[in-house]
Structure formats: C-alpha cells, structure tokens
Amino acid sequence: MKVYSDIEGMGFSAMRMLMLNEAAEHELPVLQEEANQLRIQSDYGVFGIARRDRNGFRLEVEADGVSNLHVLRDSLVAHISHVQPDVAAQIAWSDTVQSGLRPPNFQFAEIKTTTRLCASFQRVTLTLSKPDGFGDHVIHFRFVLPRLDDSAPEWPTLASNGSTRWPAGAKALHRPVYTARAHRGDEIDVDVFVHAGGRTSEWAVAAAPGTSVALVGPGGGGILDACRVVLAGDETAYPAVSRIIDGLPEGAQGRVILLNHSGQRDYPIPCHDGLTVDWVEPPDFVSTVSAAASDCADGYLWIAAEAGHINALRTSDQILRHPKSQRYVSAYWKRK
C-alpha cells in the first residue's frame, strides 16, 4: 500500500535533514538520496520525500498492510509535529484517514491464563483478536495499560492527519514494550519480569483469565538467522533471548550471557547443543560481553539490558569493531 501527502509550509531541505538524522540514529538504510528525492527503508516499510517547490514537498509512505502503514505515518507526523506543529496539524493523506477510529495496530486480547513461571516471572498467555503480523520476524509489542483503579479507561483514536491521539492526564495510558516469548496461531505467551514498582508486573499478577488487555503492535526486531552468536541480556531480555535460541539453526554456535539482578537463576532458557550459557553478576556484565564479542569477530552480537550497561557497551571498542549489520545493542529499560 502506498499513500502520500503534499506538505506546505515546510521546506524540502529541512525535512530531508530530519529524515537523514532519523536514518542515522536508527541505522536505517537510505535507498535513494538525490537532490530532489530521498527514500529510506525501515522495519515497517519505506518512507521518503520528493521536492515540489520552494516551500513544500510530497511525503510518501509505502508498507505491507494497514498496521505498518499507520505506524510509519504516525511516526512521520510526530517528527514534523515536533519541529512545526502547525504544519503537522494540517496534513491530509491521499487515502483520507477516518478520524475517531481505533488505530489499525491497536487491539484487545483476551487473557487465557496467568501463572507464576518461576520465582521472578509471571507468564501471561493471551488470545489475540488480530494475530496477523505477529511472527518470527516481529516479536515485540506494547501493552496499553490504564491505571489499575480506572474503571472507565479511554482508548487511543486516529486523528485526521494520520497520527494516534493518546488520552492524556489522569487518563494517560502506560505503554511498556514486551516480547512474545512464544507464538502459536492466535496465542502468545508473555513472560513479565516481576520487579518492585512495576506497573506491568502488578497488572500481570492480578489479571483475571477471561478479561481483556489492550496492546499495540507488533513491531521491532525478530529472531536471528545466524550461525555464530553472542546473546547477552538481563532479565527483561530473557524472553527474547529464549525465542532467538528456539529459532537458531541446529549447527549454530556461540555464547549466552545472562545478567541476573535478582539472584534467581530459574528462568527456563532453552537448551541448544552449540551454546554455552553463563550467568553473571551486574559488575561483570560489560567486561564479560565485551570479551565474548572479541572472541566472536565473525558472529552476530545481540545485546539488550538496562540503559547504563548498554551505554557502556555502545562505546566499547570490542563491540564497535563489529559492523553495524552484525550487532543489535538495545536499552530495554532505564533505572529511575
């Protein structure tokens, strides 16, 4: 599907700069970069601009399916809104967005079961009302949680400029990212790390089977197609690491490094003949992962943990030696 919007009041060069910064920050491939044309690839599809006149450009978005198309244009409108809110408010698309509807990537899922998987994890099994899109290539989504004491929550709606209008103030919704640890037809298992002050874990422990929960997605990355790997992460990454291990080819080799804050090492990490698994304490995580990266020069590095550890790893020479296409280094949460 392809849609466009002719934008007035913002120059081609300003938008070009915005998009190139976005591509650099998220390491997105630039497919075409010419004087009057720019096209960039993202996980959701292709977006770009074409010069029209001194004070305008055509914004173009192409994606498979309405959900990916929505995510792309929502994010483009948000970027424009950040620098020129008046321009963003006026955006009209070639397919005319019906304002007031629920965003296409929003759904309610039914809670099938919620059980204590091990000491620090609650497993919630959900039946999705829109399972399309979930698969090995996209394994993450966001829960959309109202306050636990809000008996009449408000849900997001589409604005006519294609963006998602989220309720604010007391009706604001909490939207943490989670991983589909397993996916079977219209069902997913979600393993929630139970930590102090966690709004999601509080919800997951109390959730009643047969009731529903809202979510948006799926989005983000998927499993790996690699034969040599270093997989490293803290508790929040155990579900993704496990799903990646499930998908590795039989002959794959490498190391799994699991940072453990809680002292509990009972999360069920799948066995794989080619992988060695090490549990490490917080002070040893960065040095252990950096050393493993050095020993795996031709392999893929997949690392996800708290922002402090990730910032240290992002500047580590041993990590930077790996080409960008051979590493994923992501902050999964931030200590506040």
Instruction: Write out the residues near ligand FAD by the rule CB under 6 A.
Output: 140, 174, 176-179, 191-193, 195, 197-201, 220, 235-236, 239-240, 332-336
Work out how close the CB of 191 gets to ligand FAD at its nearest, in angstroms, rounded to a whole number. 6
Using the minimum distance from each CB to ligand FAD, give the nearer residue, 31 or 172. 172
The DSSP code sequence of 79-104 is HHHHH-HHHHHT---TT---TTSPPT
Structure-block tokens of residue 154: 């408000």
Q: How far is CA 155 from the centre of its chain?
A: 20
Work out how close the CB of 178 gets to ligand FAD at its nearest, in angstroms, rounded to a whole number. 4
Work out how close the CB of 234 gets to ligand FAD at its nearest, in angstroms, rounded to a whole number. 7
Using the minimum distance from each CB to ligand FAD, give the nearer residue, 60 or 191. 191
Work out how close the CB of 44 gets to ligand FAD at its nearest, in angstroms, rounded to a whole number. 15
Residue type, 314: R
Work out how close the CB of 199 gets to ligand FAD at its nearest, in angstroms, rounded to a whole number. 4
Work out how close the CB of 221 gets to ligand FAD at its nearest, in angstroms, rounded to a whole number. 8
Residue 46, C-beta contacts closer than 8 angstroms, at least 6 positions apart: 31, 39, 40, 61, 62, 63
Using the minimum distance from each CB to ligand FAD, give the nearer residue, 88 or 313. 313
Looking at beta carbons, which residue is closest to ligand FAD?
198
Q: How far is CA 138 from the centre of its chain?
A: 8
SS3 230: strand
According to DSSP, the residues that pair with 328 across neighbouring strands are: 302
DSSP character for 147? -
Using the minimum distance from each CB to ligand FAD, give the nearer residue, 106 or 193. 193
Structure-block tokens of residue 106: 């929003």
- How far is 49 from 139, CA to CA, in rounded Å? 29
Using the minimum distance from each CB to ligand FAD, give the nearer residue, 7 or 304. 304
Using the minimum distance from each CB to ligand FAD, give the nearer residue, 60 or 235. 235
